[in-house]
Amino acid sequence: MRILLIGPPGAGKGTQAVRLASRLSIQHISAGDLFREHIDQGTELGRNARTHISSGRLVPDGITIGVLAERLGRPDTERGFLLDGFPRNIPQAEALDGILADSGSGLDAVLDLEIPEAEVVGRIAGRRLCRRNREHIFHVDHSPPEVAGACDVCGGELYQRDDDREATVRRRLEIHRSETAPVVGHYRAAGLVSTISALGQVQEVLDRALLAIGQGQNQVDASGTARR
């Protein structure tokens, strides 16, 4: 199965993508993770990407498309994949369509995560990561560390990523509204989109996503769980 997970920053795409990909036994491909690998390795691509990411701008299409095209060409994607963070605009969506068409395939579903903007700002701006292990994540309001500024797991220093600062978050939301949201319309015209609420517990959102993929109903329930 080939799935695109789309939604504003802070909607929980990364969290849901990992769980969905695991449940469906397909590859999780995150554009953000690919770029962060390059940033951590100090490559030229990583330095160029960091300049854009830290100021809330998108990495240029040419670089992004090239990185994702190479990743989609690897053998481990033959059984399927879940894209998280790509495509972010119409040119990237059209490029993805072309890449998949060249391989004789196409997307099977597009899941559009829906969430209020105020919730997004609160989720992201309050997030803190451990410098020793980025998988140790805290939140100043919802899951604060026992000792301020220190990781409960390993004692590492907690920090706020540049792209998690409130001003940057709001800029990222502006970009989403102007450039990424139209991608939903691009795929809705092909009948691929299910919009689901990203509010609630992680398992609740996952259940909505699985239900949308498995049943493809026009309306799953009155709470906006999934609709086309």
DSSP strand pairing (81-84 vs 2-6): parallel
**Residue among 88, 123, 128, 208 flagged as catalytic:** 88
Reported residue count of the chain is 228
3-class SS of residue 108:
coil
50 is catalytic: no
Q: Which of 13, 50, 123, 208 is catalytic?
A: 13
Would you call 13 a catalytic residue per the annotation? yes
The catalytic position among 36, 57, 132, 161 is: 161
Annotated catalytic, 36?
Answer: no
Catalytic option among 2, 19, 128, 172: 172
| CA–CA gap between residue 205 and residue 220 (Å, rounded) | 13
Catalytic residue among 71, 123, 127, 128: 127
Known active-site residue 79: no
Residues 217, 11: Cα–Cα separation, whole Å:
22
Determine the Cα–Cα distance for residues 37 and 91; give it in Å rounded to an integer. Answer: 24
Spatial separation of the C-alpha atoms in residues 18 and 145, rounded to whole Å? 24
172 is catalytic: yes
> Rounded to an integer, what distance in angstroms lies between the CA atom of residue 108 and that of residue 89?
19
Any idea which residues carry the catalytic annotation?
13, 88, 127, 161, 172
